[in-house]
Amino acid sequence: MHLTFAGAGAAFTVGTDNYHSNMVLTVTSPSDAAPAGSRAGQRRMLIDCGSDARYSLPRIGIAGPADLDAVYISHLHADHVGGLEWLGLISRYGVPPARLTLFCSEKIMPILWHGSLIGGMGITEEGRASLSSYFEVSPISDNRFSWSGIDFTLIPVSHVGHGEVLMQSFGLLFTLCGVRVYLTTDAKFDGDLLNKPYAQQADVIFHDCETGPPSGVHSHYSDLCTLPAELRRKIWLYHYQPGPLPDARGQGFRGMVVRGQCFDFTRPETLLGG
């Protein structure tokens, strides 16, 4: 059971030293004996697919959709969804073709196609296409879904706007090898996070962290430093801007995630910094 960060950067990250904050969850069944290099018994889900995914994924050993089984989309910003056109087209027309399951909240699934993808994917040589022409579409209702024996709970968080004009991002709460994980995706700062059940339940939290000028649509490092120490001890920070990184461990966090970092849930000590 591994969670590998293809990148740990924010939306405007450029260059090859970091990429968008997309990650790959790898699940291996120990009961399935497989020869070296084989994918038998191993399944992978891509969590978000930003516009630089075709560059970032090969750097963590994912050549393309044939190396994946599913993709989860948290919200519709390009650093989380901009690579889906590439992924869908190469899934259908690449060699070998591969059909991935696409998980996404039913609240945003229609917008994903009609607002983000239809322009480049709606017409094919065979005629008109839909999202299901490229993926095994699995809209998530009731904020819950299961994949490869793992139960996921979607955690809707505020990202951009407020009131009736609000873009939410859907974080994930799940358990791997007995370790309860909360992945925020993109979230405004929540000063009351300690009192939220999903934060209380989590053993480790991967929290987005803005390090540049405050935008108001992400949790800024300076605000995160005001969280209670008992909560900071659970938190790894990611989704930051280019430039020098703050001394997160010095402020009581577990650390700053870096591009390519792999968290092995069969060895919980890898989650703790050290």
pLDDT digits (tens, 9 = 90+) for 118-160: 999 999 999 999 999 999 999 999 999 999 999 999 999 999 9
Residue-range domains of the chain with CATH? 2-32+39-271 (3.60.15.10)
Residues for the chain: how many in total?
274
pLDDT digits (tens, 9 = 90+) for 250-262: 999 999 999 999 9
Whether pTM exceeds 0.85? yes
Using an 8 Å Cβ cutoff, are 80 and 73 in contact? yes
pLDDT digits (tens, 9 = 90+) for 6-47: 999 999 998 889 999 999 999 986 554 444 444 567 899 999
What pLDDT was estimated at residue 267? Answer: 80
